Amino acid sequence: MNRPLDEQERERLESQYAEIASLAGGLAHEIRNPLSTIRMNLALLFEDLEESDFSGAHRIQRKLQMIQRECSHLEEILEAFLQFARAGELTLEAGDLSALVQEFIDFYRPEAEQHGIDISPHLATHLPPIDMDENLMRQVLGNLVRNAQQAMPDGGLLELQTYSRDGAVVLEIIDTGCGMSPAALEKMFEIFFSTKSSGSGLGLPTVRKIVKAHRGTIQCESTVGSGTRFTLTFPASASAAT
């Protein structure tokens, strides 16, 4: 079992996280500038080719489109890295997890309908408040729900449940998708591990980092062909006892 971090270790980790976040910001600046220049010049090349009567213009356009896609992929990887690096930076306020989940469902429902996904919420009322960073918690929901969406390419059922257990607040996200193999289940929180060819391998590590920063835990059960269940548990806010 993992032993609790003492204050000195916690301060050391927080210092490391701050340094990584600072480096990530600099990296983003250094990469985004040339990427923007590349994308701008690609757009200009497309315009030139449209006005050209060069016989090979069509073939060149296809190659330029491939470069555009790779530029977009690089930007997605960069954004995922930034999210991971900054996941430990919290602005905590006591809040109602059920209300936050309902707000997310209302936002996500049109996208779910487009993908043939039925949402089944079971959200407890009068939950104890938890100390949370709402923006980062929305990021957790977004990552886990879109993972579920990708696991159900032909549609399916997505359940989101909240309830109180042993003084803690629990969130469960359950899908009827393709599930994960035992090997993938074992490695899913490893940085840069992904079962998707275009995945950054940072989505689930970022989710775990955010949950741990909230002093919470995350568990996953999955069966190939049957679906996946993520269970997130958070301590109730100290204000709940006052």
Identify whether residues 103 and 220 lie together within a single domain. Answer: yes
Q: Using the predicted structure, report yes or no on whether residue 206 has a pLDDT greater than 60.
A: yes
73-82 pLDDT tens trace: 777 777 766 7
109-118 pLDDT tens trace: 999 999 999 9
Entry pTM: 0.69
Q: What residues does 175 pair with on adjacent strands?
A: 158, 228
**Residue 41: partners with Cβ closer than 8 Å, 6 or more residues away:** none
120-157 pLDDT tens trace: 999 999 999 999 989 889 989 999 999 999 999 999 99
Identify whether residues 122 and 157 lie together within a single domain. Answer: yes
Residue 171: give its domain's CATH number.
3.30.565.10
Domain around 164:
93-241
Count of beta carbons in the 10 Å neighbourhood of residue 134: 15
10-28 pLDDT tens trace: 566 556 556 666 666 667 7
Identify whether residues 221 and 139 lie together within a single domain. Answer: yes
Confidence grade of residue 235 (pLDDT, cut at 50, 70, 90): very high
pLDDT at 20: 62
Lowest pLDDT segment from 1-5, 100-104, 205-209: 1-5
Identify whether residues 67 and 98 lie together within a single domain. Answer: no
The upper half-sphere exposure of residue 50, i.e. CA atoms within 13 Å in the direction of its Cβ, equals 6
pLDDT at 5: 46
